[in-house]
Amino acid sequence: MNCETCQLKELEVEPREIKDVLRCILHTIFFHRTLSLVRPKDVDCEFFEITYVQCGLPELEKEVDEKIDQFVAWVEKHPHRSSQVCLSFFDEKNKHPGWFGNKTERQALEESSSRRVALESSIHEVLFQIINFANEKKDHIPPIPDRIFNHEISIPR
């Protein structure tokens, strides 16, 4: 199976805007890639006139906030460096069981990246880019009923 990649528009944001922008982008991606039943929750950005939708899954919101906090900590330690966040979706398949236990193999399904950001119009462009990508590129997604895809949010270390 091929891994689709969606390289989002590069954005430049002030340090105080990072959390707001990343929450907006990551939750928009998750909402458009979640196959389980969710309770959509409208969220207004703090610094921009933008409303986005979260899945309403507390464990996902907690994970996203933890990764964003880690990213903000990295940015504070490296204030003049450009960086990116990568969200990858994958499927885990058990490899043939062996004497030393089962091995799982990750099969990449999709990856989205975004560099640090600013401007509300650019954020709108990124959100529409996510929506268009999610609506156009569906052939690589296997039928997985009633759950969020396995995923990983990668940040600089």
The model's pLDDT over 20-45, given as tens digits with 9 standing for 90+, comes to 999 999 999 999 888 778 889 999 99
Listed as own residue / partner, the contacts of 63-66 with beta carbons closer than 8 Å and 24 or more positions apart are: 63/153, 64/22, 64/23, 64/26, 64/27, 64/30, 64/153, 65/23
Q: Where are the alpha helices (DSSP H) in 11-57?
A: 18-33
Asked if pLDDT for residue 96 goes beyond 60, the answer is no
DSSP lists the bridge partners of residue 42 as: 53
For the chain, the domains span: 4-154
pLDDT, residue 135, reads 80
Share of the chain above pLDDT 70, in %: 72
- Other C-beta atoms within 10 Å of 78: how many? 11
Asked if pLDDT for residue 156 goes beyond 50, the answer is yes
pLDDT, residue 6, reads 83
Mean pLDDT across the chain: 79
pLDDT, residue 119, reads 52
Using CA atoms, how far apart are residues 59 and 71, in angstroms rounded to an integer? 18
The model's pLDDT over 134-146, given as tens digits with 9 standing for 90+, comes to 888 777 666 655 5
Amino acid in position 48: F
The model's pLDDT over 107-150, given as tens digits with 9 standing for 90+, comes to 655 555 554 334 566 777 888 888 888 888 777 666 655 556 67
Asked if pLDDT for residue 5 goes beyond 70, the answer is yes
